Amino acid sequence: MSTFSRMKIDLLGMIALAVVVSFLAITVTSGAWQNFCVMVLYATLLAQAWNILGGYGGQFSFGHSLFFGVGAYAQIIAQLQWSMNPYLALLFAGSLAVLVALWVGFLSFRYGLKGSYFALVTLAFAEVFRILAFSVSFTGAGVGLMLPLKTSSANLQFADKSGFMVVALVLVLLAFAITLYLKHSRIGAYLQAVRDNEDAARAVGVNCFRVKLIAIALSGFLMSLGGAFYVQVFQYIDPTIAFGATSSVEALVAAIVGGIGTLWGPLLGALVLHGLSDITRNLFGQLPGINWVIYGVVLVTMVIFLPRGLMGGLTSLWARLKKSKA
C-alpha cells in the first residue's frame, strides 16, 4: 500500500472518530458514559503526546508529568491571577511547556543522554518541579489552586460533560494531525531513523539533536494541553496531581498497550485501560489502588505476549488472514 493510500485511510479514520464522538456528545445523556468518553479522550491525548517522543522518537520518558504540570499551572494561574481568557490560556500553557521542553531537551540531548539515563532525568525534572510547586506561594503550595465555577462555553466550563467531550475531541484531533504529519513527513522519517539507529542516522547526515528537540517540544506541547484540560474539567490542581507519577504512567501505559509508534495505538490503549478500570471498579467497588494493579498486570501481559501492543497484534492477525485467503 502506498504512503498516500495509508495517509488517506488515516484521514478517513480521523473523520470517522470526529463523527462518532460528535454523535455521542449529542445523544448520550448518561453522566457516567459522558465521563467515560471524556476520560478516554483525555488519556488518548496524554498517550499520543508521549508517543511522539517515546514511540516515534525512541526517547522513553518517565517524567512527562513535568509538561502536564506546567500546562495545568499555567492554565489556572493565567486565569486566576491575570484574568486571561481560558482559550488564550491554553495557548499560553502550551507555549510555556514548549520552552520547558526545549530546556530539558537541550540539557539532556546535548550531553547525549538516552535510554534509561534520559528516562531517569525526566523523572528527576518532574520531581524537582513538584518540590518547587510545594515551596512557592503562587502555585498555592501544598493547598493547591481552585478554579471558580463559571459555567459557560466562553469560560471553557460546561453544565455537563458533553461540552468537554467536544473540547477533548478537538485536542485529540490536533494531536492526531501532528502525529500523522510526523508519520509521513521528512522530519518524521528522520525521527524514526534516530529511534532505530541514532549512530547510523547521524552518519547519513541527520541532525539528531535538532530532530529530538523538535520531538520533545511537540510532545511537551500536547502533554501540557492535557494538563490544561484537566484543570478545566476538575477545576483544581496541586503539586502532587500536577507533577506526580499518575499522568506519566497513564500516558506511557496507554501508548505501550495500544502500540507505540502507531497513530491509533494510543486511542486503543486508552479505551482498553479505561474500560478495564471501569469494569473492575464496578466489580470490586472503590478499592484503593485497583487501577494501578490493572495497569501493572496489563503492562506486564502486553510486554510478554504482545510486545508491539494491540495495534501490532491486530496488524499481524490481519496479515495472517490475508495470507490464508491468498
Lowest-confidence segment of 39-48, 70-79, 104-113, 285-294 by average pLDDT:
285-294
Residue-range definition of the domain harbouring residue 223: 3-325
CA distance 13 to 103: 35
- Own/partner long-range contacts of 51-54 (Cβ < 8 Å, ≥24 apart): 51/179, 51/255, 51/260, 51/261, 51/262, 51/265, 51/266, 52/178, 52/179, 52/182, 52/215, 52/218, 52/219, 52/222, 53/215, 53/216, 53/218, 53/219, 54/219, 54/252, 54/255, 54/260
Pairing of strands 145-146, 236-237: antiparallel
- Global pTM reads 0.94
CA distances from 283 to 165, 174, 286 (A): 26, 35, 9
**pLDDT band at residue 287, thresholds of 50, 70 and 90?**
low
Tens digit of each residue's pLDDT (9 = 90 or more) over 79-129: 999 999 999 999 999 999 999 999 999 999 998 888 889 999 999 999 999
CA distance 260 to 255: 5
Mean pLDDT across the stretch 215-236? 97
262 closest CA partner among 2, 4, 10: 10
Count of domains for the chain: 1
CATH number at residue 241: 1.10.3470
Q: What is the mean pLDDT of the chain?
A: 91
Percentage of residues in the chain having pLDDT higher than 70: 97
